[in-house]
Homo-oligomer: A and B are copies of this chain.
Amino acid sequence: MKNLYGVILAGGRGTRLWPISRELYPKQLLKLFGNKTLIQQTFLRLKKIIPSEKIYIVTTENFAEDIVLQLQKLDLTKKNIIIEPSQKGTAPAIALAMKKILDIDKSAISLVCPADHLIVTDTKFLNSVKIAFSTAKNNFLVVFGVNPDNPASEYGYIKTKNNKIEKNKSYAVEKFIEKPSGEEAERLIKEGCLWNSGIFVWKNRIILEEIKNYLPKVYENTDINSPELYSLIDSVSIDKGVLEYSKKIKAVQAQFKWQDIGSWKTLHKLLPKNFDGNVLNENVFDLNCQNCLIYGAEKRVVAAIGLNDLIVVDTEDAILIAHRDQTDSIKITLEIIKSKNLKQCLMHPTVYRPWGSFTVIEEGLNYKVKKISVMPRQKLSLQFHYKRDEHWIVVRGRAKVELDGKIFYLAPHQSIDIPVASKHRLENNGREILEIIEIQTGSYLGEDDIVRIDDIYSR
């Protein structure tokens, strides 16, 4: 499969898992299962069958830095990040990626998959891909169908012609059924329908032809160099826009266990439960609760008494308490929170950077207090600010500080003043993590008051 390319769709905002997932830090970037984030898991899965220089990531400007941060140690080829000029759904995102790869390899066949799905067992992933690959070679658009294990109404279903489906073969698709009712889903499962996994294999040339046929405007306007053209596209998914109409679709039964962790309700279903049907973590103290997912934030305590069928997700700055069957309404609630200009929709108090992370721990009129963690051997950019003074005190590790050309070394408890407009750089040249408390003072304290003079991460 020398001409097989991987394309990971990583532009999704995943508001449905708020407040763990935030608009600027969505679920693909989170460690929901195990010690790897979902996008890391996805990337590693593809890397087993596709060389990393042939794996592309489609995402938006907002997530690009975080994705690089998470994937660079896994051998991501940085120039393989494709930035969507704006968020317009999967069809335009796929068109962008297909065109870019086709420019490099006219015979390219692409495996396209979402960044934020969970594949529980992937030992037979390669096997499934081989069958899809050989089907795609015959100019078919292949979609992986997953054997349903419950009549979920939040998924799409695939009905093959004559309801035929067998391992290791591909079958013509009769139609797609999007989000059926529970009853309808049960009927579909009895008939032998499969879940639409959102994982596809096809020739770049063929899918682009079909996009041209069914979504001509998408085809024309997807030019990486023309954000204006791109912005004119109406949002559309590849399923609704192309697959539901194309006559070239074939389904391959996936030999892997798949889950779209689309909502807290699904997550509750997935996770191992205690005797009372609860999923709880160590910060939760429960009494007489049934069928709840209760996730308590670090350093905080949740006392839960007499609750039924609730989703409770606590974080440092926001908490969700929702009935299990109403988690779809998170979207509406977030719109309201957003209208109040509250940053809880957008981001976490902790923000990740190539060199480590920072957390705003206190804010007041004309001041802000941050805890800054710098990983060993990392350094921030050489920078200055127009409007704020900073004051740094080391609380862990050792800091190397460059200030207007001079070098200072600080141990715990030692501090330094960073006046307005002075050129400064914080570095951890030790082997231990470096933690400092930064107190900013000034009339304007926005993150955008930063001028980077030199940056090892080329920001």
Contacts and interface: CB of A to CB of B under 8 A. Distances in A.
In the complex, the count of this chain's copies comes to 2
B344 A317 contact: no
Contacts of A329: 287-288, 305-306
A302 B310 CA distance: 14
Nearest to A286: B333
B318 A306 contact: no
B301 A322 contact: no
Contact of A321 (B300, B321, B365, B439): B321
Max chain B C-beta neighbours (<10 A), residue from A305, A323, A366: A305
A136 to B, nearest CB: 43
A19 interface: yes
A209 to B, nearest CB: 44
A371 B439 CA distance: 11
Contact of A307 (B321, B362, B369): B321
Nearest to A420: B413
B344 A323 contact: no
A435 B342 CA distance: 25
A361 B369 contact: yes
Interface string A273-308: 000000000000101100000000001111111110
Interface string A408-444: 0000110101000000000000000001010101000
Contacts of A415: 391, 415, 417
A202 B88 CA distance: 78
A162 interface: no
A271 B309 CA distance: 27
Interface residues of A, number: 57
A305 to B, nearest CB: 4
Max chain B C-beta neighbours (<10 A), residue from A322, A323, A439: A439
Contacts of A322: 303-307
B396 A366 contact: yes
A334 B303 CA distance: 8
A396 B364 contact: yes
Nearest to A419: B413
A371 to B, nearest CB: 6
Given A303-B322, A304-B322, A413 B389 contact: yes
B369 A301 contact: no
A314 interface: yes
Interface in A15-38: 18-19
Interface string A117-159: 0000000000000000000000000000000000000000000
A382 interface: no
Given A326-B305, A413-B441, A362 B361 contact: yes
A327 interface: yes
Contacts of A318: 300-303
B305 A321 contact: yes
Nearest to A296: B319
A189 interface: no
A305 B327 contact: yes
Given A301-B342, A321-B321, A333 B285 contact: yes
Given A301-B337, A415-B415, A439 B437 contact: yes
B306 A330 contact: no
B333 A365 contact: no
Given A322-B305, A344-B301, A361 B361 contact: yes
B301 A319 contact: yes
A232 interface: no
B364 A287 contact: no
A367 B412 contact: yes
18 contacts: A19-B303, A287-B326, A288-B326, A300-B319, A301-B317, A301-B337, A303-B321, A303-B337, A305-B320, A305-B327, A306-B323, A306-B326, A314-B319, A361-B361, A367-B412, A391-B393, A437-B437, A437-B439
Smallest CB-CB A-B distances: 3 pairs: A306-B323, A306-B326, A305-B322
Given A19-B303, A305-B320, A395-B441, 9 more contacts: A18-B303, A287-B332, A301-B318, A304-B322, A305-B327, A364-B395, A393-B439, A415-B415, A437-B439
